[in-house]
Structure 1
Amino acid sequence: MSAPTLRRGTLGTADIAFFVISAAAPLTVMAGVAPVALMLGGIGAPVGYLLAGITLAVFAVGFTTMSRHVRSDGAFYAYITRGFGIPVGIAAALIAMLGYNGMEIGVYGLLGSATADTSHALWGIDVPWLPVSLLGLALIWYGGFRSIDFGAKVLGVLLVAETGILVLLAGGVLLEGGASEGLSLSSFSPGNVLVPGTAAVLACAFAAFTGFESTVIYRREARNPERTVPRATYIAVAFLGFFYAFVVWAVIQAFGEEKVVQAAADDPGGLFFSAITAYVGPWAADLMHILIVTSVLASLLAFHNAINRYALALAEEGVLPAVLGRVHPRHRSPYVAGAAQTVLGAVVVIGFAAAGADPYAQLLLWVNTPGMIGLMALQLLAAVAVLLFFRRIPHGEGALRTVVAPLAAAVLLTGAIGLVSYNVELFTGASTGVNVLLVSLVPAVFLLGLLLARRLKRRRPEVYASFAAEPSDAPEGPPEPAPAAAL
């Protein structure tokens, strides 16, 4: 009897898009980060989100084109291996683990602080953050333990709720005609966009898209992956880019172009709550408090599922311990990888708590920052890998997809990484020494990966030689029916 595998043909385009958009946590990004973007870039901030979306859409052109030629669950590291070779591919795999784990584990701090803030705002109760974060770890473990279609349904509900409250806010502003001076499109004029603060806005905007490329991780579980994966990628990028820009523009109209920057500076954490209270009602602000917590939970579940599938793929490659490659016989989930990731998260969370760290300013921001930079570095490597890959093989793809788009994406992503690294204090609020350490983690892990590749080549040549090879199993077939117990 063969070992259980992930359930094939389970996820459609919408399901995969839910995972990606949920990981971005739109409500949390808007209420928590957009006020900072307004403070830094003024009323031209909405354009920063559009420019970031355009950059990543250009990247997606080459990325999704290459996905038609690469059948692997390893996502970034498989693509990078095809372009650069095995050593860089193994290094990229370690950066991917750093990136996704950093993006998830840090958010447990946000879960604790957001829940504490919500409890205090609604009921006047002060809740300690650590028990909340540990409870979140248990809930997310269970969500990842269950079948992937269970996770897709949960994320679908939570995503509709968090985007719905933002649409409600924007709709209220539009119906009321905005502040006293009325609605205006001045945010999109060159004079308000080409200002010194736009560079910092772009850094915030790129961070808001982190994880969008994880569509490819679900290839094995997707229905007709050659179509659903590219579609989900474009839908996620387009939705996030336009939605972010629209919501930020609506908040500008809510306060007025002359007052919004000062309002954001006076109370960045309360900007969105003040707007929805004024244009919809206090009940909507209370609901937004609750939905921020569920938004964080959705982001955690999406990243948890992505990490588990990366760990599963690396275990199957022989790079990580084989036990992490076990799949649950009923739920068809990488349950051992999920348990290991949960334990790692608990160790980090408890460690920060024991050190007396702030859950938001330190656990979230310090752990998220190298994760964000790591994932952006992977995007850059993948863009260059597309160029190198299509130079090596015969293909019928056009030059726009295989040369122009990946080259443009590489240039733009290089600039984006430079902006984020230069403005890293915006994300961490830390000292120069801490910032240097956090940024240095990514190249340090890359070098560690190169050393691991060298060690594998010398001691386990068969594992090294087969790294990121095309799978030998049969092509993706029709969906497997989900047993009733897994639904």
Structure 2
Amino acid sequence: MSVTSQAPPDGTAGPAPARLRTGTLGTADIAFFVVSAAAPLTVMAGVAPVAIVLGGIGAPAAYLIAGITLTVFAVGFTTMSRYVRGGGAFYAYITRGLGKPVGIGAALLAVVAYNGMEIGVYGLLGSAGADTAHALWGADVPWLPIALAGLALTWYGGHRSIDFGAKVLGVLLVAETGILVLLAGGVLVAGGADGLSTASFSPDHVLVPGTAAVLAFAFIAFTGFESTVIYRREARDPGRTVPRATYIAVGFLGVFYAFVVWAVIQAFGDAAVVEAAADDPGGLFFAAIATYVGAWAAGLMRVLIVTSVLASLLAFHNAINRYGLALAEEGILPARLARLHPRHGSPYVCAAAQTALGLVVVLAFALAGADPYTQLLLWLNTPGGIGLMVLQLLAALAVPRYFRRIAHREGVVRTVVAPVTAAVLLTGAIGLVISRIGLFTGASAAVNTLLVALVPAVFLLGPLLALRLRRSRPEVYAAFAEEPPDAGPGPVPAPRPAAPTT
């Protein structure tokens, strides 16, 4: 279903209907959205030191393992993307393979998970902004005004056209990755603290009990990489662009994360880095870049962490807007949310609604006196991250079921072996995250149980909603996750030739 303006009642021609800007995004643009959502600089400076404490010098290998697992997932996922041309991303794929009740549950979970990921990050923005102001200028700035300014900037970016957002994210992403490359380059030129070592990738340091905990952090660090398919309707040559962007994003993140963590280990030396990370996890990266590049670079890194968080917010905001648009077109959410800006071609009503929701949640946490990092960020991001991993698992399970139902010429590796393998690996990854949930939240057992339970609770609302829709709005139920008329041409392979009759 697509939204178009209605002709005036007098029969005169009305204005042309607003539409998404189809054919706007190239491979690099989509990759910028995906990698920006992961916030590489923030993940490295804020989380990697904890990974080193837990996993020792073998921590870099965990990021490679997570990247390989998600690459396997991407094989089946991107193969199916050639056939599913709508804007519903996860829920459209899951519906095609596992049925409408499961797909509606996935749609609800996607909306909640992506909102949890984005709104929680406003707490990180407030915390990082306050820390940066204090470190650079000695100013004690409350976190709330910073978070509210971030809300306004994020809304503006979502209100504007998608190509505007791609350009902004391109600049911010180059800056945040550039400062990490500068750090790594300084370490490599100097030869590290004790000479460069590859011990981080040896089995003796990778196959240790702490690696399981690091893997849990590593999988969360890739959050949002699968959102490439959300932009299918706005991509140029989506049959090629979307798979390429997906592989580039997951490949880049896996290799880049591993390389940067390894470089920081070399900065302190294999024997000293774990103690240094334990003594000051928040300052590890700043100390390294100040030593090997200069104090000015440490100050710049603090500023770029704030812009990294802003880039992540804008990337998640655009993804949420397109989920909301797709569900409004489906009839699941109010039709008003499907309105597109007449000039920018953006889902501007979704942008406003999502910003309003973020404002309410941020103000509620602030009025309750909650900590912006340990509560607003971690309490919302934890179920959000688990929810996205569950969606990945369901999408992997949907791929072989889908290809069993249609005629196609895809190989068994892409349609069965890769998705089944990914499903097994993702199940293990979800188990790792849940079993070590306390490392993510630092909260009580009761709070952790509630945060984890939110994921199945939201998902199980889907079948109930499906039953209600099938009874009260059968036309909406029947059309759910079907191809929208403006989805654009899809490079769907020709069906297998029929077997000769005898």
Alignment TM-score > 0.5, same fold: yes
Match of 2:6?
none
What is the identity percentage for the equivalent residue pairs of Structure 1 and Structure 2?
A: 79
Counterparts of 1:199-238 in structure 2, within 5 Å, are 199-238=212-251
Matched, 1:191 2:204: yes
Separation (CA, whole Å) in 2 of partners of 1:431 and 1:425: 8
Cα deviations across residues 155-197 of structure 1 (Å, max 9, x unaligned)? 0000000000000000000000000x21000000000000000
Give the CA deviation at 1:258: 0.3
Cα deviations across residues 199-254 of structure 1 (Å, max 9, x unaligned)? 00000000000000000000000000000000000000000000000000000000
Matched, 1:356 2:356: no
Match of 1:464?
477
Matched, 1:175 2:157: no
Separation (CA, whole Å) in 1 of partners of 2:430 and 2:72: 16
Separation (CA, whole Å) in 1 of partners of 2:85 and 2:22: 14
Match of 2:10?
none
Matched, 1:117 2:125: no
Runs of at least 5 residues in structure 2 that lack an aligned partner in the other structure: 1-13, 491-502
Q: Is the 8 A contact 2:86 2:484 kept in 1?
A: yes
Separation (CA, whole Å) in 2 of partners of 1:393 and 1:8: 28
Q: Is the 8 A contact 2:55 2:210 kept in 1?
A: yes
Counterparts of 1:400-419 in structure 2, within 5 Å, are 400-419=413-432
Amino acid at match of 1:205: A
Match of 1:482?
none
Matched, 1:443 2:456: yes
Separation (CA, whole Å) in 1 of partners of 2:28 and 2:486: 26
Amino acid at match of 1:21: V
Match of 2:4?
none
Match of 2:493?
none
Match of 1:455?
468
Match of 1:347?
360
Give the CA deviation at 1:476: 4.4
Match of 2:8?
none
Give the CA deviation at 1:144: 0.5
Q: Is the 8 A contact 1:220 1:476 kept in 2?
A: no
* Correspondent of 2:267 among 234, 254, 266: 254
Give the CA deviation at 1:99: 1.0
* Correspondent of 1:36 among 50, 56, 65: 50
Counterparts of 1:69-468 in structure 2, within 5 Å, are 69-179=83-193, 181-468=194-481
Match of 2:18?
4
Q: Is the 8 A contact 1:91 1:447 kept in 2?
A: yes
Q: Is the 8 A contact 2:113 2:384 kept in 1?
A: yes
Separation (CA, whole Å) in 1 of partners of 2:76 and 2:30: 19
Give the CA deviation at 1:470: 1.3
SS in 1 for 2:223: coil
SS in 1 for 2:21: coil
**Counterparts in 2 of 1:115 and 1:474: CA distance versus 1, 3 Å:** closer
Cα deviations across residues 290-316 of structure 1 (Å, max 9, x unaligned)? 000000000000000000000000000
Cα deviations across residues 125-164 of structure 1 (Å, max 9, x unaligned)? 0000011101110110001000000000000000000000
**Counterparts in 2 of 1:265 and 1:394: CA distance versus 1, 3 Å:** same
Amino acid at match of 1:317: E
Amino acid at match of 2:480: F
SS in 2 for 1:106: helix
Q: Is the 8 A contact 2:225 2:250 kept in 1?
A: yes
Match of 2:72?
58
**Counterparts in 2 of 1:313 and 1:151: CA distance versus 1, 3 Å:** same
SS in 1 for 2:141: coil
Give the CA deviation at 1:71: 1.1
Separation (CA, whole Å) in 2 of partners of 1:219 and 1:276: 39
Deviating runs (4+, > 3 A) in structure 1? none
Q: Is the 8 A contact 1:95 1:445 kept in 2?
A: yes
Separation (CA, whole Å) in 1 of partners of 2:487 and 2:43: 41
Separation (CA, whole Å) in 1 of partners of 2:85 and 2:205: 45
Give the CA deviation at 1:59: 0.2
Separation (CA, whole Å) in 2 of partners of 1:443 and 1:98: 12
Give the TM-score of the pair, scaled to structure 1: 0.97
Q: Is the 8 A contact 2:233 2:487 kept in 1?
A: no
Amino acid at match of 1:106: G
Q: Is the 8 A contact 1:16 1:218 kept in 2?
A: yes
**Counterparts in 2 of 1:368 and 1:293: CA distance versus 1, 3 Å:** same
Give the CA deviation at 1:475: 2.8
Give the TM-score of the pair, scaled to structure 2: 0.94
Matched, 1:47 2:61: yes
Counting matched residue pairs gives 476
Separation (CA, whole Å) in 1 of partners of 2:105 and 2:19: 26
Give the CA deviation at 1:472: 2.3
Q: Is the 8 A contact 2:86 2:487 kept in 1?
A: no
Cα deviations across residues 395-435 of structure 1 (Å, max 9, x unaligned)? 10000000100000000000000000001111100000000
Separation (CA, whole Å) in 2 of partners of 1:265 and 1:32: 13
Separation (CA, whole Å) in 2 of partners of 1:428 and 1:108: 16
Separation (CA, whole Å) in 2 of partners of 1:378 and 1:195: 29
Cα deviations across residues 36-83 of structure 1 (Å, max 9, x unaligned)? 000000000000000000000000000000011111100000000000
Amino acid at match of 1:321: P
Separation (CA, whole Å) in 1 of partners of 2:324 and 2:360: 18
Cα deviations across residues 8-33 of structure 1 (Å, max 9, x unaligned)? 00000000000000000000000000
Q: Is the 8 A contact 2:70 2:422 kept in 1?
A: yes
Q: Is the 8 A contact 1:9 1:476 kept in 2?
A: no
Q: Is the 8 A contact 1:8 1:476 kept in 2?
A: no
Give the CA deviation at 1:474: 6.8
